[in-house]
Structure 1
């Protein structure tokens, strides 16, 4: 539980809406709320599912259910992990390209310096703390990083960003803080605190290594590989 106040960065002039979002989504019992949401999402009741999805769509203006192969869903979980119609996400077939592994918004990106990446500007974190020794970080010296935020309304599957083989898959337990912008601005080393997995991929079409690290968040902390 977080009472480590020194690790929280003050945000001067922060909009009231962002502050309220941070307080509401992080000061509730996160683990309990996440487990409860996991159970409710798998309830297979047509009326409950219809009401839940209508409410979800009301608050998510970018929830594009017309892209799904199914027209109706037996549960919220089924909607959350929906499959897309063929051709909905065209993939660049060039062998020397990396593609986004998921629907997402770009949070931050840049060059890895001293094995550090940026949560947001002015808030670095150590890759060693993020991966906890699961992989050898030497190949990532002077590499590149990108943070992708997968919103709840988006298609929730992750794919390999390149043709290759999975070398390692390591699970790391942790918290379930929100990972939205208001929270990222206030909690240092957030990705190093939350539950996550470390997946290392060895590309077959070019040199180097790719590390994918899916990070859990409040209400969304179920990963299946």
Structure 2
């Protein structure tokens, strides 16, 4: 897959509006905007076997030769990595890499919640009132997303943050606040791409795709719902946390296998006020780039 220039986003780290280099955008445009491409997606790309096959390729030792060229092409900082590039067994090993703890400091203020992952984020103060999900007129269907009308009612009117991870990002995901996680519920589904090229066409992939839901009980923010959404070439969502065991803010929850992917964080009504810059850029139709551990709201 090749890459090309993608959508604009605001980079909180640089304070600049930048343009994303999208890994595989030409293929995505063909796959989701052209008749033959859409047929290919339905017959193969959305299927679990396709992602398993691609994952198998990334698990082979020969895939390790892709690591250094990937690092150089996308300007990844090897000083952040817990292991040097030549210490990874294959590309998937590199893809789910750990970072040094100091590379992602967790905001220490007890009154804040933090982003669960590196990526490009959208924030909605009231998920029920928004019709600006990647394209005007698309509204989130909470009941279908959560697979539970009682849960949907509990979070209706609450805040939502969508964190989109690209292949170039750090792919471990973390808890936005301290608390006690429950059991993770796996909802099986397809594996469509979650790139904006696809989501602009059909937001419903978020509740059609494979996803994992975990409730986090907190003292300050009520119960937070943490979701991970699988995507094309990301059939693997690995949970590393222990249900029922206290986790600190920023504690690791799990990691994704190869590809782009997404985390969704839901708050009950009135529990959290999302950061002003996140709401501002979402309202302008652009994502905000920030690191895991940066402030998401309070």
Give the aligned partner of residue 53 of structure 1.
67
Cα distance between partner residues in 1 of 2:148 and 2:183: 12
Give the aligned partner of residue 290 of structure 2.
none
Cα distance between partner residues in 2 of 1:188 and 1:103: 21
Cα distance between partner residues in 1 of 2:210 and 2:186: 8
Cα distance between partner residues in 2 of 1:108 and 1:19: 27
**CA distance 1:61–1:19, shift in 2 (3 Å):** closer
Q: Does 1:65 align with 2:65?
A: no
TM superposition score normalised by structure 2:
0.62
Give the aligned partner of residue 43 of structure 1.
60
**CA distance 1:34–1:194, shift in 2 (3 Å):** same
Aligned counterpart for 1:143 among listed residues 144, 158, 164: 158
Give yes or no for contact 2:122–2:163 (8 Å, CA) kept in 1.
yes
Give the aligned partner of residue 3 of structure 1.
none
Q: Over residues 161-194 of structure 1, what are the superposed CA-to-partner deviations in whole Å (9 max), with x where a residue is unaligned?
A: 0001113421011111111111111114120111
SS in 1 for 2:151: coil
- Residue 117 (structure 1) shift: 7.4
Cα distance between partner residues in 2 of 1:220 and 1:62: 23
Q: Over residues 10-62 of structure 1, what are the superposed CA-to-partner deviations in whole Å (9 max), with x where a residue is unaligned?
A: xxxxxxx96752323763411233111111121124xx411x2245446x625
Alignment of 1:71-220 (within 5 A): 71=84, 72=86, 73-113=88-128, 119-120=133-134, 121-133=136-148, 136-204=151-219, 206-220=220-234
Aligned residues between the structures: 203
Unmatched tracts of structure 2, length 5 or more: 1-23, 33-37, 240-298
SS in 2 for 1:201: strand
**CA distance 1:37–1:19, shift in 2 (3 Å):** closer
Higher strand share: 2
SS in 2 for 1:111: coil
SS in 2 for 1:158: strand
Cα distance between partner residues in 2 of 1:117 and 1:91: 32
Quote the RMSD (CA, aligned, Å): 2.5
